[in-house]
Amino acid sequence: MDAAPRVSTVAALIAEPARARMLNALMDGDAISATDLSMHARVTPQTASSHLSSLREGGLVALEKRGRSHYYRLSGPAVAQAIEALQVLAADGVQPGWRAALHNEPLRIARTCYDHLAGRLGVAITESLVRRKYLEPRGGDFRVKSAGERFLHRVGVNVEEARTKHRQFARQCLDWSERRPHLAGSLGAALASRCFELGWLRRIPGSRAVAVTKKGYVALQGAFSILLTSQ
């Protein structure tokens, strides 16, 4: 079966600037109202509704109805992976929907990429795990070694539960700002979730950027042997 027509359709959906802005706003994995997405896209609510309908028909976003309000989220991690890959390819100013992100220093320092950690922090944590031989790069994935499983358990990450998720387990995701891989997949999501639970990181409202807390500076540097600079 020739997949080229489908690829062209999906590419056209992502390429439209207003839709690109919407997809970028949804990259933290949360659901956002249609009204808020229209503001992100800088279009009228009626135009936003048309764009969201196209994205939904194309399988890129999913609809959640909350009372009389409509909320949208990315349909899955594969969509986030595709957008992150395109951001790697995008040069400054090429995609209007991503221009602000490309010049946003807080996003470059630490951010969420769908449901896992990215930016300098995400890459530094991943490289620490590889350097200490807890993770081993294998093709486009990581193999978690026994020592890595023990370490992650000590941090409080449930590795066994992450393996049961119906998605890739420990994937290499090429970071658009660092141009090096960070840990994605269900294991990356579990690690990010644990960092938030422990109070090491906090979300910055209205942004994918995350901030390292005072507690987190000490804990992350101690646990992962990485040097963090003040944000």
For the chain, which domains are there?
Answer: 4-90 (1.10.10.10), 104-224 (no CATH)
| β-pair partners for 61 | 74
pTM (two decimals): 0.78
User: Nearest-CA neighbor of 170 among 207, 195, 139, 133?
Assistant: 139
pLDDT at 102: 52
Distance of CA 34 to the CA centre of its chain: 20
Surface-to-core class of residue 125, CB atoms within 10 Å of its CB (0-12 exposed, 13-18 middle, 19+ buried): buried
pLDDT at 82: 86
Strands (E), the chain: 32-33, 61-66, 69-74, 111-113, 116-118, 135-138, 141-144, 171-174, 181-184, 201-203, 210-212
The rounded distance, in Å, linking the Cα atoms of 39 and 138 is 41
pLDDT at 180: 93
pLDDT at 44: 95
Number of H-type helices and E-type strands within the chain:
12, 11
Eight-state DSSP code of residue 199: T
Please give the average pLDDT of every successive group of 10 residues along the chain, which has 231 residues: 71 91 89 93 94 95 92 90 80 48 75 93 97 95 97 96 93 90 96 97 88 94 82 51
The rounded distance, in Å, linking the Cα atoms of 175 and 141 is 14
C-beta atoms surrounding 201 within 10 Å: 23
pLDDT at 86: 84
pLDDT at 177: 86
